[in-house]
Amino acid sequence: MQSRNITNLFAGLILLIGTATAVSAQTGGAPTVSRPSSSAVSPNLSDLPTAHQSQGENPKIVPPPKPLPPRKAGPGGSGTDEKTLQREQGPHLGVHSKTSFGGIGANGYIPPDPNIAVGKTDTAGLGYIVQVVNSQIAVFNKSGTLLSGPSALSSLWTGLAGCSSSNAGDAIVQYDAAADR
């Protein structure tokens, strides 16, 4: 029985070494380096056509969501003998937001995948907020005034072949604090 286990162990090692040798021979051992097929500089956001102009449609009014029904006794619900259930409102915290404004809507996609980046406020009290939702991008100032857009993301890539015809993907916006951009 022991000689059979030893034979199986050696056969497994030989198989493992043979597979590793075949894989390294196929890859050549060197990393694969690819080069970009093209490059381009995107236009300024302020120069892009708005998404409504480019798509030839008016903005859609999205109805507010329906309220959830109250929870009842049963699985996941609260019973009448629940002692940890909060039965009255707590004190008002007195927190006031500085700015509140409507951004880009869901623009027909579910889920909307909103993403936002806020730049720092300069000495003149100006600063920018860049928002991306699915296939649109817009720039606001910190008081909520729309400065640019909303524009289709595909309009950023007009200089690149293949990318300018698609709004695919969920873009993100990031603020680079070191470069202040």
pLDDT 10s digits, 11-35: 777 877 777 666 666 656 677 888 8
Residues 51-97: tens digit of each pLDDT? 754 444 444 445 666 777 776 666 665 556 667 777 777 787 777 76
The DSSP bridge partners found for residue 147 are none
What predicted TM-score, i.e. pTM, was given to this entire model? Answer: 0.55
Q: Please write the tens of the pLDDT for every residue from 109-148.
A: 777 888 889 888 877 777 888 888 888 888 888 888 888 8
Containing 130, the helix (H) or strand (E) segment is: strand 128-133
